[in-house]
């Protein structure tokens, strides 16, 4: 995985901000949870044009925002419940940023359900299909990736990290017993470029064009500004810093096909280093290791997200 931090080094390099990537505009949703779990009004934050929405209708990205979040409204067995792990936060020097936190979400209804789920905070390019109807459907509801045909040199953003300090992680899926996962929790950024192909039945396969994965193993002393990480093109498995678990081909992601259906996206190989992508995938998360794995308290702040072009 990449560990180096660079800044703009040449007049030929240009920073292109992602839409709403300065985190200055937010949609503030108010969702009314079911009375059997308290009937509270819960606030969910989404990255998009400044406005307030009071509704239990499924959320769809507003203002052509490319950003989805792990903040979701679920409806399980007729019970409306929210999960909020992404927050609008204020930077010390002024302006907004995004704060992502890992926590345990609980819902208990006597005689009906008693669920505890480990939920990491994350934002990503794409959208979430609401309502979530079960813990197993979270990943399948995440439409990951946006159409994109450029070949950026690097990803650039400001960040801050606060780690929990625990030596191991937990796995908590909602119905199984709490498990222990070895290794301390890390905040993670994943940026991928894919060349996708859809067949007549709507199945999606992809070649990996570009790869950038970085994890944060230590808390930072305040903000790190304009950190940039190069995107590696082509087959990178021979690099000394290659980590198959974090950077290898992916087969468990989902996207919405041309028929409007959520289907798996299976990466079937590495593209040539000069290939043109069709999609950009980007995710920031307060925990690594996949769904339902992490350590409560891990926190990741991000701001001013853009791509460096040459």
Tell me the C-alpha distance between 208 and 249, whole Å: 7
Question: What is the tens place of the pLDDT at every residue in 190-234?
Answer: 999 999 999 999 999 999 999 999 999 999 999 999 999 999 999
Under a CB-based contact definition with an 8 Å cutoff, are residues 194 and 257 in contact? no
| pLDDT recorded at residue 295 | 94
Half-sphere exposure of 295 toward its Cβ, with a 13 Å CA cutoff? Answer: 21
What percentage of residues in the chain have a pLDDT greater than 90? 78
| CATH class label, 14-309 | mainly beta
Per-residue pLDDT reduced to its tens digit, 119-157? 999 999 999 999 988 766 678 899 999 999 999 999 999
Is 90 exposed, middle or buried (CB count within 10 Å of its CB: 0-12, 13-18, 19+)?
exposed
What's the confidence (pLDDT) of residue 1? 44
Taking the complete model, does pTM exceed 0.85, yes or no?
Answer: yes
CA distance 117 to 102: 11
For residues 243 and 208, the answer to whether their CB atoms sit within 8 Å is: no
Q: What is the pLDDT of residue 3?
A: 40
Do the Cβ atoms of 72 and 83 come closer than 8 Å?
yes
Mean pLDDT on 41-55: 97
Nearest in space to 51 (alpha carbons), one of 28, 67, 32, 74: 28
Asked if pLDDT for residue 242 goes beyond 50, the answer is: yes
Q: What is the per-residue pLDDT for 10?
A: 55
Q: pLDDT of 60-85, one tens digit each? A: 999 999 999 999 998 888 889 999 99
C-alpha closest to that of 84 among 59, 64, 65? 59
Would you state the pLDDT for residue 154? Answer: 97
Residues facing residue 75 across a β-bridge: 80
pLDDT for 266 equals: 97
């Amino acid at each position: 995985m990449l560990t180096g931090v660079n800044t703009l080094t040449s007049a030929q390099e240009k920073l292109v901000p992602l839409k709403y990537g300065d985190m200055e505009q937010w949609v503030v949703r108010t969702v009314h949870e079911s009375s059997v779990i308290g009937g509270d009004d819960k606030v969910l934050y989404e990255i998009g044009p400044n406005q307030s929405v009071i509704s239990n209708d499924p959320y769809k990205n507003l203002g052509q925002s490319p950003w989805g979040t792990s903040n979701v409204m679920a409806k399980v067995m007729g019970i409306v419940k929210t999960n909020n792990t992404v927050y609008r936060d204020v930077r010390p020097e002024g302006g907004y940023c995004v704060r992502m936190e890992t926590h345990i979400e609980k819902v208990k209804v006597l005689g009906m359900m008693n669920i505890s789920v480990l939920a990491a905070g994350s934002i990503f390019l794409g959208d979430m299909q609401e309502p979530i109807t079960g813990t197993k459907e979270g990943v399948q509801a995440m439409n990951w990736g946006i159409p994109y045909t450029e070949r950026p040199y690097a990803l650039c953003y400001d960040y801050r990290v606060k780690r929990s300090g625990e030596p191991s992680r937990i796995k908590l899926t909602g119905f199984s017993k709490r498990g222990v996962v070895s290794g301390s929790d890390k905040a993670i950024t994943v940026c991928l470029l894919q060349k996708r192909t859809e067949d007549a039945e709507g199945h999606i396969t992809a070649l990996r064009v570009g790869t950038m994965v970085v994890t944060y193993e230590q808390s930072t002393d305040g903000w790190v500004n304009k950190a940039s990480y190069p995107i590696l093109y082509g087959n990178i498995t021979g690099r000394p810093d290659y980590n198959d678990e974090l950077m290898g081909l992916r087969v468990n992601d989902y996207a919405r096909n041309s028929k409007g259906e959520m289907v798996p996206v299976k990466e079937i190989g590495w593209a040539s280093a000069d290939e043109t992508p069709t999609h950009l995938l980007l995710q920031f998360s307060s925990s690594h290791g996949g769904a339902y794995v992490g350590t409560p308290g891990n926190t990741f702040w991000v701001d001013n997200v853009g791509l460096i072009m040459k």
